[in-house]
Amino acid sequence: MSWRTEGLSITTLTIIDLCRESVESYSKAGKEVRVARPKRCPACGCKNIIFWGKRARWAIDDTHAWRIYAQRVKCKGCSKTHTILPDFLFCRRSHLAVIIFLALTLVFKDRHGIKAAAFRLNISRSTTFRWVKNFKANSDLLYQRLSSLYRTAYPHAPPPAPTTDLCAAVLDLSKGLFTARHNRAPRGEDVSRWLSQFTCGYLLALPTKGGHCAADRLFASLFLGS
């Protein structure tokens, strides 16, 4: 995936499918997995989109690795190809979204060190460090976008203030918004899938050198298209 901030010149994007299946059943379906055809191209907005084969990739938790097939699509308007990922994954990450969410929660909410969090989830320290680094880099933009949604969901209650840690406030906001939308207490998997949908899979995408405009456009696209 690549883009330029000015003009939003996008090469390829990930499209998140609101998947109701578990990773086990998704993997079991193999190449026969079915996803909904996107209504429009996320790069140019064209509605003429066709399926364009599937690509194998891994989905990993703390004990298992599943081979899944991600559907690819091609826009007839701009000729760009995009990948449709289930919402239990983030873009360019093989580990399940829930594992990444749990690692971030251990580090920023429970105050575990990176080494302790990695050991508890049976993942490498270098992988956990990259997740934490990228999440920190996006935390300011995420807080702004989530706070705006939080004020809409709870007009009489201010969003959690980042008194000590902006990253922890982002996690709190995510849980609060999930509860507001679904009217039930969230589990880790629930919030991780919601974050994948909200960020269009780019939760851990590093900001562009020119600024946050492209990332902000990506984060908003799910709601603009709904």
Q: Domain segments of the chain: what residues?
A: 3-224
Angle between helices 114-121 and 125-153 (to 10 degrees): 90
pLDDT tens for the 226 residues of the chain, in order = 333 333 344 456 788 888 888 999 999 999 999 998 988 888 788 899 999 999 999 999 989 999 999 999 999 998 888 899 999 999 889 999 999 999 999 999 999 999 999 999 999 999 999 999 999 988 888 888 888 888 887 777 777 776 668 899 999 989 888 888 888 888 889 999 999 988 888 888 765 544 444 444 454 444 333 3
Q: Which two tokens stand for residue 137?
A: 């880099």
Nearest alpha-carbon partner for 81 in 51, 57, 58 = 51
